[in-house]
Structure 1
Amino acid sequence: MIELADIRAAAERLQGQVLDTPCVESRTLSQIAGAQVFLKFENLQFTASFKERGACNKLVQLGDEEKRRGVIAMSAGNHAQGVAYHAQRLGMRAVIVMPRFTPGVKVERTRSFGAEIVLHGDTLDESRSHAQQLAAAQQLTFVHPYDDEAIAAGQGTVGIEMLQAVPDLDTLVVAVGGGGLIAGIAVAAKAIKPGIEVIGVQTLRFPNMFNAFKHASLPQGGSTIAEGIAVGTPGRITQAIIERHVDDMLLVDEGDIEQAIVMLLEIEKTLVEGAGAAGLAALLKHPERFKGRKVGLVLGGGNIDPLLLAAIIERGMVRAGRLARIRVSARDVPGSLARITAIVSEAGANIDEVHHQRAFTMLAAQNVEIELVIQTRGRDHIQGVIDALHAGGFAAQEQ
């Protein structure tokens, strides 16, 4: 079991090597959530993730012979970048085994730090097994992403910094994959402020620690936009710490995380990946759980594939009613489409796409079904456009 002294020692080692990131209140999110919300911007680290804290703390403590031989790690991306970057800084060889599904942006970023990349397996567990085989064959030091006391102690420095910045926080909400971050934070926070509440968040698709913590047996597996916490097996060391120091564990689904990513981008102008947005997703999904409290959220990382981000933003626009699909029935005669587009324009909406459907429809043969994708100001505006089309003599409805 790590103690506060281990985390304070890690904080001293990390001084000047990682960023003491801001922890500031979001007034807008506070109003929305009904709680005072403070954000810890770990996405501002050089590798855009808290993971480099644990990686750096581990690497600087290696012996001379271990440093000479080099290190190996398995990771979906953020731990990989942390190990690769600090190994490069310290002049060490780094081999990184990554699952085949890892976003390209994380693979290329890791490679840019001079690491040797091995893509193997479809899950973190498969990657870990292969990494351990390579470690034995090449005499490399295996740097586990979470189930290591030095790693957890390094991640725990996040908790020290949060309570230094905002001493009166009464709740910390932390995303959980293997448990390294929440284990370190929980040890630090409970030692500094025993009455503080520490709550973990997992995705419904990978509830490994939730199952262990709650003695549940929810199924797990499948793809998730929170690939950073898509861990199949909880850490042995971290699970023991979590059972002792963590107060509760919550679950969020894909839509909750998507909404949180879009809100952080739009409100805070900050880019956060799926795993990093899980804390805010829990706050939005369970507002009664946090009402009136002073809540600290860790924005764990900002490494997200641009194409995935584009899809999330577009889906978020649909969810917010700012992008809508409307089906309009009209006579298939010259001028009908012009009239429809004129009505939409006068109603203040912008047309993104137009599709005509003549064959696959139950309308009379002389009629046409026109599908419009429009940009609007929100739900009320969508209804306003539909009402205007009805007033113009067209049958219209949102799809």
Structure 2
Amino acid sequence: MLRTRLDLDRIQAARRVIDPVYLNTPMYRCDALGRRLGCTVSIKLETANPVRSFKGRGTELVTGLLAEQGRTAVVCASAGNLGQALAWSGRRRGLDVTVVASVRAPVAKLDRIRALGAELELVDGDIELARERAVRIAQERGIRLLEDSLDIETCEGAATIGLELTSGETTFDAVLTALGGGAMATGVGYVVKTLAPGAEVICVQPTGAPALTRSWHERRVITTESADTIADGVAGRFPIPEVLDDLLAVADDAVLVRESSIITGMQLLLEHTGLIVEPSAALGVAAVLEDRDRFAGRHIVTVICGSNVDLDAYHRWVRR
């Protein structure tokens, strides 16, 4: 039995709380992409929802709980996708939402947070500085601080993806997930290792933001002084100890990929699936590109976790 903070009964119950617009997202085999990569590839499309990322599954649980408690406000730090999701879920339940983000976050993500009615505060630093400011806001205002990946609701919301992966007749050999703060990797990993233990759970992070991957391999928290990657959604520097403990229990491997492979992954997803994705969503494809022999002839599932990307930057990347 897996020793983690997650609970299968709670995850199954979460599907009754999460707005159905986030559930049962498309999953299909992409033969054209598979031929290019030398393996069978299925994609789980977590961008087919109002916030174009998987984060809404977790924020639905958090805001549902806050509404039950009679709470009226919540604050979070976000690289962009969590903030959009929290704004969407909070507006649905009449909550005042504040999002702290970096001035360097993609403009498309910041504009969407504002459009969804959240108060947006920008800091001149990275996501870690945004987290520090969010903590102060929560203390000053006496409101709930949502901490992505530390708050179990964010992990168990993401874990409902795992329920959908394992509920059909299709079997797979490995699931590849982007690794940032760890909510999706631990959530999906927990369900897959519980319900389909024969499948590998492989987490993928950029070489320019390797903190949690290094921590997994060293079995202790490793921090980095900086992060340098186009995959802004996974660019954390300070892994959360509780999340690392969960990840150690559910992940079979954690790998790093180069920026060039991420860009090629985005190009291949556009060419063979017609999908415009943000860099974090191409990490699974990048991992296959860098280790073809490992995946040759196997059936892999990769989670397309977000498509909120500045189009100008996207066009620069994919036209290289």
Cα shift readout 1:102-138 (whole Å, capped 9, x = no counterpart)? 1111000011100000001411111001000000111
Aligned 8 A contact 1:204 1:220 in 2: no
- For the 8 Å contact 1:279–1:298, the answer to whether it is kept is yes
Give the match for residue 12 of structure 2: 8
- Give the TM-score taking structure 2 as reference length: 0.94
Structure 1 residue aligned with 2:40:
36
SS at match of 1:257: helix
Match of 1:369 in 2: none
Does 2:195 match 1:211?
no
- 8 Å CA contact 1:200–1:248 kept in 2: the answer is yes
Counterpart mapping for 1:245-284 below 5 A? 245-284=250-289
Q: How many residues align?
A: 314
The 2-side partners of 1:15 and 1:63 are apart by 14
- Note the alpha carbon deviations across 1:123-155, whole angstroms, 9 max, x for none: 111100100000011111111122111110000
Match of 2:122 among 111, 119, 124: 119
Runs of at least 4 residues off by over 4 Å: 63-66, 216-220
Structure 2 residue aligned with 1:325: none
Give the aligned residue type for 1:3.
Answer: D
Per the alignment, in what secondary structure is the counterpart of residue 293 of structure 2? Answer: helix
Q: Deviations over 1:151-205 (max 9, x none)?
A: 1000011111112245411211001001000100011111111222100000001
- Correspondence 1:136-215 to 2 at 5 A: 136-165=139-168, 167-215=170-218
In structure 2, give the amino acid aligned to 1:181.
M
Q: 2:112 aligns with which of 96, 109, 133?
A: 109
Q: What amino acid maps onto 2:184 in structure 1?
A: L
Alpha-carbon distance in 1 for matches of 2:106, 2:21: 26
**Is 1:47 the equivalent of 2:77?**
no
* Percent identity over paired residues: 29
Letter in 2 for 1:89: R
Q: 1:293: Cα distance to partner? A: 1.4
User: 1:91 aligned to 89, 94, 99, which one?
Assistant: 94
Q: Please name the residue that 1:321 is paired with.
A: none
Mapped contact 1:24–1:39 kept (Cα < 8 A): yes
Distance 2:228 2:104 in 1: 9
Q: Which of 1 and 2 has greater Rg?
A: 1
How many Å separate the matches in 2 of 1:99 and 1:165? 40
SS in 2 for 1:44: coil
TM superposition shift of 1:65: 5.0
Unaligned runs of 5+ in 1: 316-399
Helix, strand or coil at the partner of 1:251: strand
Q: 1:219 to 1:143 in 2, by over 3 A?
A: closer
Q: Which runs of 5+ in 2 are unaligned?
A: none
Q: Counterparts of 1:323-338 in structure 2 under 5 Å?
A: none
TM-score (norm 1): 0.76
Q: Secondary structure of 1:211's partner?
A: helix
RMSD: 1.6
The alpha-carbon deviation at position 16 of structure 1 amounts to 2.1
